[in-house]
Amino acid sequence: MNLNKEEFDQWLNMVEEAGRLPKKDIDKLRAMNKQRVIPLQCTRCDHRWKPRNGNPSVCPKCNSPYWNKPRKTMQR
C-alpha cells in the first residue's frame, strides 16, 4: 500500500470508526505517519533525496541554490 499522508489519515479514520484495531495500535500508526519523510526533487538536475532536516539551501548533487524553483526560459 503506497499512500500519501492525507490518504493514510483517511484510511486510519475508517479503521478507527470500524473498530478494527485497538486504539493503542492506531495511535502508533499515527505517530509513524507523522515521521514519514517526503522525498525532495531538484528541478535542475532531477536528483531525488530525503532531507535530513527542513528545507535544504542547495541540491546535494548539483549544488544549485535554485533546486526548488522552476527554470525561467527566455522568450525571443
Q: What is the pLDDT of residues 40-54, one digit of tens each?
A: 999 999 999 988 877
Give the rounded percent of residues in the chain with a pLDDT score beyond 70.
87
Predicted local confidence at residue 1, as pLDDT: 56
pTM above 0.75, yes or no: no
- Which pLDDT tens digit goes with each residue over 1-32? 566 777 778 888 888 888 878 888 878 887 87
51 and 30 within one domain: no
Whole-angstrom distance, CA of residue 37 vs CA of residue 52: 9
Show the cell assigned to 55: 528545507
32 and 15 within one domain: yes
For residue 76, is it within any domain?
Answer: no
Give residue 6's domain range.
1-36
Provide the domain count of the chain. Answer: 2
